[in-house]
C-alpha cells in the first residue's frame, strides 16, 4: 500500500504490525554521465517493484529525496541536509509512525552517505523507547539485502558511485538520461588504508565524480541488478512480517 494514496481513516484502520517502509535516498552529483537524481530514481524503482508484491501487507511512505550528501558539495547540483539535521529528520519520521501506533519500521536506503546517520538514528530511537519490547526498528540499504552472483557478469563486487552497477540500472530505467559512460576511466574504490575508516570528501577520491567502472555498464546488467535487489528487499520484508517479537 502507498501511504500517499490513502485517506487518514484508511490509515487508522490498518494493522499496526504491518511493516512501514520509509524509502530514503539523495540528490547529488553522479559524475559526468548520470543525473543528480540517480539514487532516488534507483531506489524508487526498487520500491516500485517490491511494493507490487506487498499490496496489502506493507505500508510504503513516499520517498524522501533529501539525504546526507555533504561529501559531494564540491560538485554543483548536490543538495544535502546537515548530518545532525538528517539524523533528526529520520528520527522524527519514525517517531510519527510510532505515534500512530505502528511497531515495525524499516528505513530502506538508496545512498551510501545515509548509512552512518541512519544507523545512528535507529540506535537513538531504541534508547528513546527502551521500555518498549514490541518495536522493530531497521535501517537497510537495498544493495546490501542480496548478493550479486559471482558468475563473471560483473567486474565490480560492491556498489561504487556512478559505477558499473548504477550506470547499468539507469541504462535499464532511463537510458535517455545517461551521458557518455563508455569513455569514462576506471577509478577503483580501494585506498591506501583499505578497510580502515578515513575522513574524506568525494574530491579526495575522484575529480570527475564517479568511482568504479561505468564503461562496463549495460541495460541487461541493470535489469539483473534490479531483480536481485528487489528479491532481497522482498525477503527482508517477509522476515519483518514474520518477526515473533520475542527473539533478538
Contact between 214 and 162 under an 8 Å Cβ cutoff? The reply is yes
Query: What is the spatial distance between Cα 20 and Cα 196, in angstroms, rounded to a whole number?
Result: 34
Which is more confidently placed, 50 or 198?
Answer: 50
Residue 145 near residue 17 (C-beta atoms within 8 A): no
What are the tens digits of pLDDT across the range 175-220? 999 999 999 999 988 888 877 888 989 999 999 999 999 999 999 9
pLDDT at 197: 85
CATH 3.30.300.30 fits 3-152+227-242, yes or no: no
Taking all residues of the chain, what is their mean pLDDT, rounded to a whole number?
96
Q: What is the pLDDT of residue 192?
A: 82
The CA distance from 114 to 109, in Å, is 7
* Mean pLDDT across 52-59: 98
Strand, helix or coil for residue 158 = coil
When pLDDT is averaged across residues 226-240 and rounded to a whole number, the result is: 98
Tens of pLDDT, residue by residue over 157-187, are 999 999 999 999 999 999 999 999 999 999 9
Residue 56 has pLDDT above 90, yes or no: yes
Amino acid at each position: 500500500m502507498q501511504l500517499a494514496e490513502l485517506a487518514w481513516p484508511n490509515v487508522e484502520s490498518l494493522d499496526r504490525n504491518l511493516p512501514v517502509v520509509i524509502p530514503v535516498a539523495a540528490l547529488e552529483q553522479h559524475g559526468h554521465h548520470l543525473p543528480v537524481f540517480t539514487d532516488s530514481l534507483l531506489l524508487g524503482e526498487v520500491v516500485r517493484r517490491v511494493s507490487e508484491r506487498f499490496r496489502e501487507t506493507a505500508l510504503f511512505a513516499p520517498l524522501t529525496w533529501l539525504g546526507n550528501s555533504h561529501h559531494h558539495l564540491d560538485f554543483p547540483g548536490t543538495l544535502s541536509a546537515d548530518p545532525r539535521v538528517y539524523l533528526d529528520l529520520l528520527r522524527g519520521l519514525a517517531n510519527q509512525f510510532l505515534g500512530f501506533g505502528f511497531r515495525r519500521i524499516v528505513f530502506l536506503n538508496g545512498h551510501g552517505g545515509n548509512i552512518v546517520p541512519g544507523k545512528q538514528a535507529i540506535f537513538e530511537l531504541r534508547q528513546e523507547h527502551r521500555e518498549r519490547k514490541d518495536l522493530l526498528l531497521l535501517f537497510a540499504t537495498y544493495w546490501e539485502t542480496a548478493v550479486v552472483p559471482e558468475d563473471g557478469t560483473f567486474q565490480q563486487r560492491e556498489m561504487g558511485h556512478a559505477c558499473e552497477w548504477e550506470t547499468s540500472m539507469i541504462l535499464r530505467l532511463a537510458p535517455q538520461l545517461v551521458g557518455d559512460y563508455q569513455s569514462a576511466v576506471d577509478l577503483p574504490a580501494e585506498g591506501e588504508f583499505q578497510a580502515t575508516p578515513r575522513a574524506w570528501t568525494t574530491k579526495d577520491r575522484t575529480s570527475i565524480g564517479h568511482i568504479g567502472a561505468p564503461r562496463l555498464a549495460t541495460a541487461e546488467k541493470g535489469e539483473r541488478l534490479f531483480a536481485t535487489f528487489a528479491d532481497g528487499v522482498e525477503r527482508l520484508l517477509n522476515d519483518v512480517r514474520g518477526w515473533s517479537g520475542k527473539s533478538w
